[in-house]
Amino acid sequence: MMLTKKFPKVTLAHTPTPLEPLPNLSKALGDINIYVKRDDCTGLAMGGNKARQLEFYIGDALAKGADTLLTTGAVQSNHVRMTVAAARKLGLDVEVQLEKRVPDREAIYYESGNPLLLKLMGATIHYYPEGEDEEGADRALEERAEALRAVGKKPHVIPLSGNHTPFGALGYVDCAEELLEQFAEQNLDIAAIVVPSGSAGTHAGLLAGLKARGSKIAVHGVCVRRDQYAQAQRVYKKACVVAEMIGYPSCVLLDDARLDDRSLAPGYGQLNAVTREAIRMCAEHEGVLLDPTYTGKAMAGLIQMVRDGVFAAGDNIVFLHTGGAPALFAYPELVEKLANH
């Protein structure tokens, strides 16, 4: 991986992750060829895209002498789970902050899935009351970091908002290069890649990495938290920063930030009919498990794009599976709905 070689990095992810065809799902959807990039198989604490990102976040933290990691995320955050796992693997102290982003959930939502795994790993957990206040959540982390410094610790904050250097996105610059190698090895002409788009680190890093290597493959982000207009600005801004970091300024254009928000409503982490259908189809046709917050909505977006003719007949489309299966256990109503479909 040459584009990111100058940045400090630790090893957390099992890479390269597989690139596999989904023939049964492809047949069910018609004249299209869908492949899945299995970043749910990165290996760290049940896997997911954050393993690649944390390699650079923690590389930066250790280069600065940190002994404690702090980060924030939603109650069912995959990033928070994997940050705790990475800290345990590397012998670092870790404190995490959980935000309430999803309304009207039963008690099981707060006790199973990712929260259960946090407790199993012995995480120190704090809570932040607002779910849509990224800057406030980051400020709360910084306040906790100051308290830790006062007692001699060397904390490092992995922030949430888009106003910080996106070291984690470098993990998906690496993934972009990995994918291009796999496409060449398998002799695949890929028309597009579809990815969940939330914090935008994965989307922006992938886009910048592909553009830096001269690839014309379209990257379609499916919105999981914001509408497509707001998310396009976030992705573009972050991708431009990443492109500058890796020495390819101006390789990303605003038009490259393609977003689709049709599977977002009623909001982050909330189920809808198209997401239920996507989760069911992948489970029943391929034995591939998707979560309601990220990958389920991203696959729902892909399915809608196929049905709306966004892709041409016979196109090869890659779905980036970013993990998140632990969150399935927080949505028992999903199984009840699927059992009666």
φ and ψ at 44, to 5 degrees?
-80, 110
**DSSP H helices in the chain:** 23-29, 50-63, 78-90, 107-111, 114-120, 134-150, 170-185, 201-212, 228-245, 273-286, 295-307, 332-339
Residue 112 is among the residues annotated as catalytic for this protein: no
pLDDT tens digits along 199-237: 999 999 999 999 999 999 999 999 999 999 999 999 999
Catalytic residue among 26, 77, 112, 263: 77
Token duo for residue 171: 């993990």
The helix or strand, by DSSP H or E, that contains position 317, with its residue range, turns out to be strand 316-321
Is residue 75 within 8 Å of 98, Cβ to Cβ?
yes
Looking from the CA of 19 toward its CB, the CA atoms found within 13 Å total 21
Give the full edge-to-edge strand order of the sheet including 316-321: 19-21, 33-38, 316-321, 192-197, 218-223, 258-260
How many Cα neighbours within 13 Å face the side chain of 306?
26
| 10-25 pLDDT tens trace | 999 999 999 999 999 9
- Asked if residue 341 has pLDDT above 70, the reply is no
Q: From edge to edge, which strands make up the β-sheet containing 93-99?
A: 124-128, 93-99, 68-74, 155-158
Report yes or no: 92 and 66 within 8 Å, Cβ to Cβ.
yes
pLDDT reading at 340 higher than 80: no
**What 3-state class would DSSP assign to 55?**
helix
What are the structural domains, with CATH classification, of the chain?
19-48+166-339 (3.40.50.1100), 50-158 (3.40.50.1100)
pLDDT tens digits for range 172-197: 999 999 999 999 999 999 999 999 99
Percent of the chain surpassing pLDDT 90:
94
Residues making up the chain, counted from first to last: 341
Among candidate residues 211, 201, 194, 324, the one with its CA nearest the CA of residue 260: 194
Query: Which of the four pLDDT bands, split at 50, 70 and 90, describes residue 336?
Result: confident
The angle subtended at Cα 24 by Cα 21 and Cα 28, nearest 5°, is 125
